[in-house]
Structures are given as structure tokens and as C-alpha cells.
């Protein structure tokens, strides 16, 4: 996972991946993780996620939903 050149204002216009509390966003085939970092003065930071990482995460999440009969 590495810092993205994009900021929150750009990423917030992309498609939000529901179920992750506005932390995972997608634009075409790129995925972004957004989080707040810092102590007293927090900053919103955007990371670009490798496709392999997000595909495993989304697959695991959807399997969990199926097992709990939520979808």
C-alpha cells in the first residue's frame, strides 16, 4: 500500500465501496483506502491499494455475508 497522489477531494468523487464506512473507494480498476492519521492534528490520507489486496478483501467480505445470509 502506498500513498496516492490524489487527495480526499478527488477520491470522494469516485464510487464508494459500500460496507466499509467511506474507507474504500474505486475509480475504474483502481482502489483507494482513506483514513485519518495523526495525533492532535489529524489529516485525511489516501492510499492506493494493490488490486490483489482489495480483491481478496472484497471476496472474503462477500463470502462472510453469504454465510450469514445477509445477501
The per-residue pLDDT for 14 is 95
Residues in the chain: 71
Q: Give residue 56's pLDDT.
A: 67
Grouping H, G, I as helix, E, B as strand and the rest as coil, residue 69 is: coil
- pLDDT for residue 1: 73
Per-residue confidence in pLDDT tens, the chain, 71 aa: 788 999 999 999 999 988 777 788 999 888 898 988 888 888 889 998 877 777 666 666 556 556 555 44
Side-chain half-sphere CA neighbours of 6 within 13 A = 19
Query: What is the gyration radius of the CA atoms in the chain, in angstroms?
Result: 13
Single out the residue of 24, 27, 33 nearest to residue 2, CA to CA: 33
Q: Residue 5 is placed in which grid cell?
A: 497522489
Q: State the pLDDT at residue 62.
A: 57
Amino acid at each position: 500500500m502506498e500513498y496516492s497522489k490524489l487527495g480526499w477531494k478527488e477520491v470522494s468523487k469516485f464510487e464508494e465501496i459500500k460496507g466499509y464506512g467511506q474507507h474504500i473507494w474505486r475509480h475504474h480498476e483502481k482502489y483507494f483506502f482513506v483514513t485519518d492519521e495523526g495525533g492532535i492534528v489529524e489529516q485525511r490520507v489516501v492510499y492506493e491499494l494493490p488490486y490483489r489486496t482489495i480483491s481478496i478483501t472484497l471476496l472474503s467480505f462477500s463470502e462472510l455475508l453469504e454465510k450469514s445470509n445477509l445477501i
